[in-house]
Homo-oligomer: A and B are copies of this chain.
Amino acid sequence: MTQRSRPGEARRRVLHAALELFARHGVGGTSLQMIANEMGVTKAAVYHQFHTKDDIVRALITPALDRLTQLTDLAERKRTRTARAEAVLSGIVDLVVANRDLTGLLQSDPAILDMLRGTPEMQAIERRVFHLLAGPDPEPEMLVAAVMASGALMAAATGQRLDGFDDESLRRHLMANARRLLRLRNPREA
């Protein structure tokens, strides 16, 4: 199969180059021209795939958001508070571990967070995840714990100090620690 015969390939290459540059310079510090240079193509070639930088950011984030929506739906169908918290926590841990570079991007730029948080869909999802983690009518300490948990998972997925962990170990340790923070029972420890 030649490159020309795969229409999604050029798009994927732009997204790949953009993610690298965003990580290095932030979204604000990256231009379509820089993306073109990184790929060794003209700016017109990039423009052929995406008309604005926001379109690129959206294309990078959308699959993870879809997955987050899906796992939140599933978690809400569980019967108990514990099962709901476990389900959403486990889904989010999978998501951040599988997307370490994207997680870093989300954390790194106020423009992206603003764009994300500005949408009613995202605000609704954030609220739902928060309720699943903290439970209904949480005490103040649990409310703070739920906010801490989100920051904790983001930090751990992007922390250079944890680069050496393979996905499976990182996943296991994130779950164990997050359960402790959210006062969910951990399987019996050795």
Pair B143/A110 contact, Cβ less than 8 Å: no
Residues from chain B with a CB closer than 8 A to the CB of A41 are none
Pair A155/B162 contact, Cβ less than 8 Å: no
Pair B111/A174 contact, Cβ less than 8 Å: no
Pair A177/B148 contact, Cβ less than 8 Å: yes
Pair A26/B110 contact, Cβ less than 8 Å: yes
Residues from chain B with a CB closer than 8 A to the CB of A162 are 143-144, 147
Residues from chain B with a CB closer than 8 A to the CB of A155 are 147-148, 150-152, 154-155
Pair B144/A151 contact, Cβ less than 8 Å: no
Copies in the complex: 2
Determine whether A62 belongs to the interface, using a CB cutoff of 8 Å to chain B: no
Pair A110/B25 contact, Cβ less than 8 Å: yes
Q: Complex formed: what's the CA distance from A113 to B70 in Å?
A: 33
A: which residues have CB within 8 A of B? 23, 25-26, 28-29, 107-111, 113, 130, 140-141, 143-145, 147-156, 159, 161-162, 165, 169-170, 173-174, 176-178, 180-181, 183
Q: Complex formed: what's the CA distance from A165 to B144 in Å?
A: 9
Pair B173/A181 contact, Cβ less than 8 Å: no
Residues from chain B with a CB closer than 8 A to the CB of A144 are 156, 162, 165, 170, 173-174, 177
Which chain B residue lies CB-closest to A108? Answer: B110
Q: Could you list 21 examples of A-B contacts with CB < 8 Å?
A: A23-B110, A26-B109, A26-B111, A108-B109, A108-B110, A108-B113, A109-B109, A109-B110, A140-B173, A144-B162, A144-B174, A144-B177, A145-B180, A147-B161, A147-B162, A148-B152, A148-B178, A148-B181, A149-B152, A151-B153, A155-B155
Pair A141/B26 contact, Cβ less than 8 Å: no
Kindly list the 4 A-B residue pairs having the minimum CB-CB distance in the complex, ordered from nearest.
Answer: A151-B155, A148-B152, A144-B173, A152-B152
